[in-house]
Each structure stands twice: as C-alpha cells, then as structure tokens.
Structure 1
C-alpha cells in the first residue's frame, strides 16, 4: 500500500507515566499515568474536540497506560474504544523495568537506528525494529477506514514511518511527544497541539 492509500489517521501516544518521569524502560510492563500524564490526555481531548471524528474507529493498545489515556480522551464523547494487541509497545526484553542510565548501547553496525531509539533495537531478548515493522504493517493493512489510534512512543513512530513511506531509520527524525496528536492524511503528517 502506498503512503497516500492509507486511511486518515490521528495517532496519540499515552500520557506521561511514573516510569517515563524516572527514565525507566517500560516496554510491555505497566506504570501508571502521572498527574501530568492525565493532563496531557486532557490536552489531546481538547485537540480532538476540534475535529469531526464521524466515521472514525477508536483503536487502542491494550496496555494500561494507553487505555487510561484513551478513557481520559474519550470519556466525554462516549466513543467506543476497541483494543488491538498489534498496537502494544515494542517489547524491550530483559531491559524492561531498568533505568536507561544503567544500560549500554553498543555501536552495532547492523543497528537500524542510533541515539536513544537504539535502546529499543538493542534490548536483550527484545522484539527489535524489524519485528515491530512487520506487526505495525499488519495492523495498517487491516484498517478499512479512518481511525484514531492510541498507542506508545516507539510504536507510534513505526506506524508513522510506514504511513509516510519512509525507511525505518527515519524514526529518529520524527517528532515524539505526549499531549499532542499526529494527523496523517494522504501521506502527509501534521502535528496538532
């Protein structure tokens, strides 16, 4: 599927968690939203209140931090929120639950990305970006109409790279962020804040 053939999407990352605030790797583990994270979800709700979401599905990662964000965003609209395990965060293997400063990234020449995102590709026993790419592509191929997606930082970047038709290493150049919404339509990304 080419970038312009994907349905219109609004992609949200969950709000800040206690582990985000402390620099701890989360992956598939649970950490609750902070008060700041709840406020970020409310900011996303205000952004989406300005948009006509008629005909949009609301699809969320089943992980607690994403579900909590989805409920904060959509509780007043009473939208039906369905979950899909393909939207889970990348598995960070044995590095899940560890403080980033305790971990060491190697200069692996086979690595797809460098910088902070390399933690997720090089995590011992982790999912890795190639598997995440396959999972995200499977999810995108299953969409049959416009959708709002509530997911996680790395998964959000991978979804957006695929929709925009960029190579995996372009993930490092995409903006991240909590409390914002990424609008993707016809192969173009717009940051809404």
Structure 2
C-alpha cells in the first residue's frame, strides 16, 4: 500500500495580498511558516520514503519546515508546479476581475472554457497532473511519499482521482495553506482518499 501525503505550501505574502501566483513566487509569512512546522509535528511519526516538491521557493520553504531536522532530500520537478497564469501572475484578483471579467469568470465558473494565450488551460494542467501522478505511482508501490505543491494542482489531482471532469475542479474541499490530503493506493493502483484539505493543525489567523 502506498500512502501519498499531499500538502499545499504555507501562506505567502501574495496570498495575503490576494495576488495570483502561478509560476511566480512569494515567500512565506510568519503564519505560513508556523503552520508548516505544525504540520511537521503532526507528521513527525511518518517515515517518508521520498519527498517531492515543485521548484517554487514557497514549496521548498514549506517542505523544509515540515521535515524539520529530518534529513531527506527534496526532489524538485517542474511537473509539480502550479498552473501557469501568465500575465495574471503577481496581479491582485480584484484588478483582474475588474479588467477582464469574462476571463476571470471563466477561470472560476466555467474552467472548460477558460483560455489565455501563452498560459496553461485546465486541460493542459490535467494532462500534466496525470503524468505527475503516474510518475509517482511508477516509482513507488508502497511506503509513504510526501508531495508539497500548490492549490490548483492539488484540486486537479483530487479531481482526477475522483474520476470527475474538469468542470468539477472547484467542487471540492477548499485547499487552505498547509492543508493535508492523504490518498492510499493499493497494489492495483486503486485509490482511496482518506483526508481532503484537512487543516486541523493550522493556527487561526487571528492569533497573528
């Protein structure tokens, strides 16, 4: 049995400012680091065989905070990156919604129709996430694997595991910063989602 632990990166400064991130980056906030360390304490008794991350600084910072003193190499791969958003990256959501209301609406309400030149479509992302998942399954038939990645990537991964179409990608539990999803795969590759967007370790924002 393979257990795939899937964590979103910690809260970033751009998350606080409600800026789209995509392939661009922003460092973790104090709260983001706190919650990542809290997730690490929650997972301290899990012996990971491998840790996969995207090349983004925010996922690397999160993974290191989760692992703490554990000396495990981080396997970086662009296949685990967030969805590419091109000219939207670094812009505030409210500005995008004001300037490009139809495209913004398509992104969140009609993902199958969303298209932006030079960026990934949800169909592109789905293909990439399928390859990423298959790569992990090809490399690991048992044990515990940690994947630290991004919210839309995680939503697509769970959507694929559930066997749903792209139109349902947003119809899942919200993937908060450092939230944990856990999927068990048997030897035949059959998946069982044990946790989805679980954030019981997270500190309320009001504390900071």
Query: What's the TM-score bracket when you normalise by the shorter of the two chains?
Result: 0.7 to 0.9
| Aligned residue runs from structure 1 range 1-150, under 5 A | 7-50=2-45, 52-54=46-48, 56-104=49-97, 105-106=101-102, 111=106, 114=109, 121-123=114-116, 125-143=118-136, 144-145=139-140, 146-150=144-148
Contact 2:96 2:104 in 1 (8 A): no
Offset at residue 107 of structure 1 (A): 7.2
Offset at residue 141 of structure 1 (A): 1.1
Contact 1:60 1:87 in 2 (8 A): yes
CA distance in 2, matches of 1:100, 1:124: 18
Offset at residue 113 of structure 1 (A): 5.2
Offset at residue 169 of structure 1 (A): 2.5
**Alignment RMSD:** 2.4
| 2:169 counterpart SS class | helix
| 1:183 counterpart SS class | strand
CA distance in 2, matches of 1:107, 1:84: 29
Unmatched segments (≥5 aa) in structure 1:
1-5
> Residue deviations 1:132-157, cap 9 Å, x none?
11111111111221421000111111
Matched residue, 2:187:
none
> Residue deviations 1:53-98, cap 9 Å, x none?
35x3110111100011011111322222111110011111111111
Which structure is richer in relative contact order (CA contacts within 8 A, separation 6 or more)? Answer: 1
Structure 1 residues 174 and 189 mapped into 2: Cα distance closer, same or farther (>3 Å)? farther
| 1:172 counterpart SS class | coil
| 2:102 counterpart SS class | coil
Of the candidates 150, 156, 160, which is equivalent to residue 162 of structure 1? 160
Structure 1 residues 113 and 99 mapped into 2: Cα distance closer, same or farther (>3 Å)? closer
Structure 1 residues 108 and 35 mapped into 2: Cα distance closer, same or farther (>3 Å)? closer
Contact 2:126 2:156 in 1 (8 A): yes
| 2:170 counterpart SS class | helix
Q: TM-score, normalised by structure 1?
A: 0.84
CA distance in 2, matches of 1:108, 1:157: 18
Matched, 1:179 2:174: no
